[in-house]
Amino acid sequence: MLMPTEKIDSTLTEKRVKLHVFQPSKRKIWTVVGMENEYWLDPELDFCSCPGYYFSKKNGEKTCYHLRSLKMAITQDMLELITFSDQEYEDFISGVLSDLQWITLDNKK
């Protein structure tokens, strides 16, 4: 099992922090490909859609390793930039929501 710092290091070196930018609106969606799934993040809200975020907050911890990876990727410029057209935004959001539904259902088992 990887320690949190090893998880962050591998996330950064493998460029699993992704910034999806939609043009021409410049809307941004952040995701991180974790060990099992891809998660949606909002750095302004300090939010991650992973189960670890929920449980870390519930246990009084500050954040999950995905958010720490995101912050480090931004400061070290170690992210993957992916550009889409605004016409692809709705399908992208539908895909993110579908993934979140599966993650949520999978964790209830």
Q: How far is Cα 95 from Cα 99, in angstroms, rounded to an integer?
A: 6
Q: What is the pLDDT of residue 109?
A: 46
pLDDT digits (tens, 9 = 90+) for 61-109: 778 889 999 999 999 999 999 999 999 999 999 988 887 776 555 554 4
Q: What pTM value is reported for the model?
A: 0.81
Domain ranges within the chain, ordered by starting residue: 4-107
Classify residue 81 by its DSSP letter: E
Beta strands per DSSP E along the chain:
17-23, 27-33, 38-42, 47-48, 80-85
